[in-house]
Homo-oligomer: A and B are copies of this chain.
């Protein structure tokens, strides 16, 4: 298990926990642990991963609690739920900045990107079809460029 040692060190209130407080969510010990896990994640973990990382801090936490908390946090706009096409939900901190994901299909690595021109184009495509875009999902699946060519 590759847990960072500072998982166990005393921590200041995380950004995510602060967001939760602002939204008036009741903060339990389990939710605080999950906040820490989410704040320290630099990937896009699924529920199982979040559960395992949380269980490393508090072994009594239940995966049902993780599911319930993910839903709660998502509805409170604290985190964002992703569908990266592998049949389970993944989560990231909600940074209120629209972006998409490029998935390296060899390594599973996920790279974030944003592009204003792209946003404008999507909006225009929707408008041309008679729609206002209210949401959008875009993932690019790719392989590292071959040095040749």
Q: A residues touching B (Cβ–Cβ < 8 Å)?
A: 83, 85, 102, 104-105, 111, 113, 115, 117-118, 121-122, 125-127, 129-146, 149
- B85, B131, B143, B144: the one within 8 Å of A140 (CB): B131
Residues of chain B within 8 A (CB-CB) of A145 are 127, 130-132
The answer for the CA separation of A139 and B140 in the assembled complex, in Å, is 12
Interface of A is mostly: strand
Show 20 residue pairs from A and B whose CB-CB distance is below 8 angstroms, ordered by the A residue: A83-B83, A102-B129, A104-B131, A113-B129, A115-B121, A117-B121, A118-B121, A118-B125, A126-B140, A129-B142, A131-B140, A132-B145, A132-B146, A133-B142, A134-B141, A134-B143, A135-B141, A137-B141, A138-B138, A138-B139
